[in-house]
Structure 1
Amino acid sequence: MKLAELQQIYNSTNDLEIRNNLLERMATLKQTLHDEDNKIKKLKRHAGYQRKCRAKKIKHLQEHQEVIQYDSPGRPSFLIQYPNLHEHIHECIEFGAADKKRRKEVIKVRTIRHLRENLNSKYNEYLSRTTLNNYLLPSRSNTKAAKTHHHPALVANASVSRTEKNEHIDEHYCLASVKGAKQFAALFSTHSVIISQDDKAKVPLGIPAVGRTFQTIQSFQEPVTLPDHDFPVGMQQKLIPSVYLLINPSDTNDTFRNGQLSIFVHPQYHVGTSSSTHMSDLNSLIQDSQFDGILKINGQIKPIWILLVDGGPDENPRHMKNIFQYCKMFCNFDLDYLSVRTHAPGQSAYNPVERSMSTLSQKLAGITLPIDKFGSHLNSQGQVTDLELAMKNFRYAGEALCTLWKRDPIFGKPVIAQYTDQKNSPFDDILFPGSENINESAVPWQWIENHTKICQYSLDIKKCEDSSCCSPKRHEEAAVLLAENDGFLPPVTKGKDGHFLNPLHILEYCDKLKIPGNDAHCPSINADTYERLCCSECDAYFPTLSM
């Protein structure tokens, strides 16, 4: 029924129900007519565009007198525009000429970014990253994504071979230990901080700083290899990046793997890394106002710290030299509780900072840091002859490395990197009660016995109740909870079902008399070994007999 007829019926009736029904039908019909009118206008406009496009193509063909017939559906392949694309891809990644002095080996592997740049600069062939990837062999040929790889060259994306994580009998035990410390920090998130700490692989100077975790491109017929020699230019001519991931438990998810990244680059020759350099780095983080939002609350250092380390000799919480440094840092920062946790040997990849370090390694692909910017400081035997010149060259290379890493954010936050070549021990002036008769660098054993709990893979430090020894606790709620177990987090405990228990649940619900001893449930320590590690007089547990 037409709109005019509906309008005529509407005018001739006085029934309100019929009139309302007619109004609804007329409104619907008007909207339909309006939509159809817009569709017609759109089709006419599209037809006009097509006419103009055809006219433009006809004009272009008449001017250039060139016609290319393409019968298949979809966009024409780039092989029509670049018929030698496959050959050019192979030429970009195959071996080149050997170095004339035979002093180095040309690395043939490259990333997709390098391949794009070479194709564009050498052959004037521009392809986007996704398009170029579609002209390489897929990583798996039996997937749906493999269908997008059109006419691929015999070149594939491959990862440089890496050593798989070694299994360890204590891996689940250590994971439970680290998880328990994180749960404790999450419970008091506003007053705690988690710092994941590790030293990245040394970055050599004067030779390619090739990472081991980035995707590379090379000919499909050749195995993925790297040179087995790099002709080092001298002893200890490398940079050591110490990486710290600062995690704020109050503004992250349950994974605790995202945070603010800070990097301290040390020269290996005259500084290196040790527990003292790590303490100096942590002290620098405290003094840097950029980290106040993570490390401080109300202008004071947060009272609860969780350190996740890789278990190396400069960070291992079992070594006495490191324990001394952690105790001094604990007193200097006036912490209420410090827990240092490590993963099992060979399992450091679980450390949250490793995820960030893989991104840093990728940025080093194809990079060579200069070793003689201001002149050579080495003789023919690779020995340093000019220390002042060496420090200038190291500083230039270190600052260049920091600039490279600071370009792009990680986890949506800027990377803060700085070069430091000063050797200092910020906590040497810390004095402990009873330290007059011992070495200045040591901590009295009586203090360690009253304030620390040393285990195979962890170190916990607390404040005591003696006001002449320790200042008052700054977070009473955490102190009340820990008082259930003499001020410490309970040891890693295995339940009847074979699973490790939540330490917070142990403090709140379990019978305190049934809490096992330290490392009592560690799989690598059997009953006989555990008995040998316990003191025969006081039954105190020590993770090593050397203590």
Structure 2
Amino acid sequence: MLFHKSVITMISDNRPDWNTDCTANIYNLGRFWEEQRLDALIWVSYAPGHNRFNPIESMFSRLTDLLQGVIIDLDTSFKDTSQKLDMSLIDLCKYWNNKNYYNYKIDCHPMFSVNANIFEGHEELKNLLMNKSQVRIQENPNVQFSLQLYLRHCVRSTYYISFIKCDDKHCVHCSRYPVRATKTISLLRAGGGDIPWPTMIYSNQHYDTFLQRSHSILSCEKNLYPDQNLLS
């Protein structure tokens, strides 16, 4: 396990490659959920035009500012692109590491090309899955089996995708790794596999908070359909 977490929620901007119907995206996210043995993996995207609220966008702006006037001097003796990239990452870390972003210290470490084995086979899988050929997928029983596993545990909408452990005692994955974050999973299951979605109804001088929506769902109130009040 990489993160030693039971539940991970990630925020993404809505770029052209964001598509919850994309087989390759489902497979790669599902594979991450499976290999990290997560109780739940939740991936949420901002609606188009709302990327400015993404904290990652602000952070990259700060990192870019720290590189003003910087010229990376590549060693011409390196003919391999991966070696040049590794050296560039080392140089970038010199400018970013231990700098501050809103009073938080930036802890920067390069991911070298020698560590690329964790992504082994990614390109081949992407090409296979992006082709969307059922025949080609069926010719790869391991890929087909994994994809079916991920789809059974997947909840998708326009701006939301999640993978949540089930309670099926015959499930080849979930039966081997029991749920640890029991309260969180109970809430997600009560909400139909979705996080509590905010209502756009203004009452009692405020909109319902996340905790209020959570309490309502646990009290058997129906959760809103994901993206119901967002831009299409």
Normalising by structure 2, we get a TM-score of 0.71
Q: Distance in 2 between matches of 1:427 and 1:500?
A: 46
Please point out which of 168, 193, 216 is paired with 1:509. 216
Indicate the residue corresponding to 2:133 in structure 1.
none
Residue type of the partner of 2:167? E
Residue type of the partner of 1:494? M
Q: CA 1:486 to 1:359, structure 2 compared with 1: closer, same or farther past 3 Å?
A: closer
Indicate the residue corresponding to 1:489 in structure 2.
195
Please point out which of 63, 66, 70 is paired with 1:363. 66
Question: Contact 1:405–1:417 at 8 Å: present in 2 too?
Answer: no
1:369-518 matches, cutoff 5 A: 369-371=72-74, 373-375=75-77, 387-388=79-80, 390-406=81-97, 408-410=99-101, 411-422=103-114, 423-426=116-119, 437=138, 439=140, 440-441=142-143, 446-469=148-171, 470=174, 471-495=177-201, 501-509=208-216, 512=220, 514-518=222-226
3-state secondary structure, aligned to 1:417: coil
Q: After the TM superposition, which of the residue ranges 470-479 and 486-495 deviates more from structure 2?
A: 486-495
1:486: how far off?
3.8
Residue type of the partner of 1:341? V
1:326: how far off?
0.9
Q: Which structure 1 residue ranges, 5 or more long, are not aligned?
A: 1-282, 287-294, 296-300, 378-386, 430-435, 525-547
Matched, 1:326 2:29: yes
What is the CA deviation profile of residues 394-450 of structure 1, one whole-angstrom value per residue up to 9, with x for unaligned ones?
Answer: 333332122222253443424223142254455879xxxxxx946444565643443
Q: Distance in 2 between matches of 1:464 and 1:501?
A: 29
3-state secondary structure, aligned to 2:8: strand
Q: CA 1:443 to 1:352, structure 2 compared with 1: closer, same or farther past 3 Å?
A: farther
Q: CA 1:490 to 1:393, structure 2 compared with 1: closer, same or farther past 3 Å?
A: closer
Residue type of the partner of 2:96? W
3-state secondary structure, aligned to 2:213: helix
Question: Contact 1:438–1:444 at 8 Å: present in 2 too?
Answer: no
Q: Distance in 2 between matches of 1:401 and 1:514?
A: 49
1:456: how far off?
0.6
1:121-200 matches, cutoff 5 A: none
Please point out which of 224, 227, 232 is paired with 1:519. 227
What is the CA deviation profile of residues 230-269 of structure 1, one whole-angstrom value per residue up to 9, with x for unaligned ones?
Answer: xxxxxxxxxxxxxxxxxxxxxxxxxxxxxxxxxxxxxxxx
Q: CA 1:402 to 1:443, structure 2 compared with 1: closer, same or farther past 3 Å?
A: farther
1:328: how far off?
0.8
Question: Contact 2:8–2:40 at 8 Å: present in 1 too?
Answer: yes
What is the CA deviation profile of residues 18-46 of structure 1, one whole-angstrom value per residue up to 9, with x for unaligned ones?
Answer: xxxxxxxxxxxxxxxxxxxxxxxxxxxxx
Q: After the TM superposition, which of the residue ranges 476-485 and 320-329 deviates more from structure 2?
A: 476-485
Deviating 4+ runs (over 6 angstroms)? none
Question: Contact 2:153–2:163 at 8 Å: present in 1 too?
Answer: yes
Question: Contact 1:305–1:339 at 8 Å: present in 2 too?
Answer: yes
Q: Distance in 2 between matches of 1:353 and 1:501?
A: 26
Q: Distance in 2 between matches of 1:365 and 1:442?
A: 47
Question: Contact 1:324–1:442 at 8 Å: present in 2 too?
Answer: no
3-state secondary structure, aligned to 1:418: coil
Question: Contact 2:138–2:144 at 8 Å: present in 1 too?
Answer: no
Aligned sequence identity (%): 22
Q: Which structure 2 residue ranges, 5 or more long, are not aligned?
A: 123-136
1:134-283 matches, cutoff 5 A: none
Q: Distance in 2 between matches of 1:404 and 1:414?
A: 10
1:307: how far off?
0.5
Q: What's the Cα RMSD here?
A: 3.3
3-state secondary structure, aligned to 2:189: helix
Q: Distance in 1 between matches of 2:154 and 2:215?
A: 22
Residue type of the partner of 2:216? Y
Indicate the residue corresponding to 2:41 in structure 1.
338
Question: Contact 2:154–2:162 at 8 Å: present in 1 too?
Answer: yes
The count of aligned residue pairs is: 208
Normalising by structure 1, we get a TM-score of 0.34
- Between structure 1 and structure 2, the one with the greater Rg is 1
Q: Distance in 1 between matches of 2:146 and 2:87?
A: 42
Q: Distance in 1 between matches of 2:209 and 2:229?
A: 14
Question: Contact 1:313–1:319 at 8 Å: present in 2 too?
Answer: no
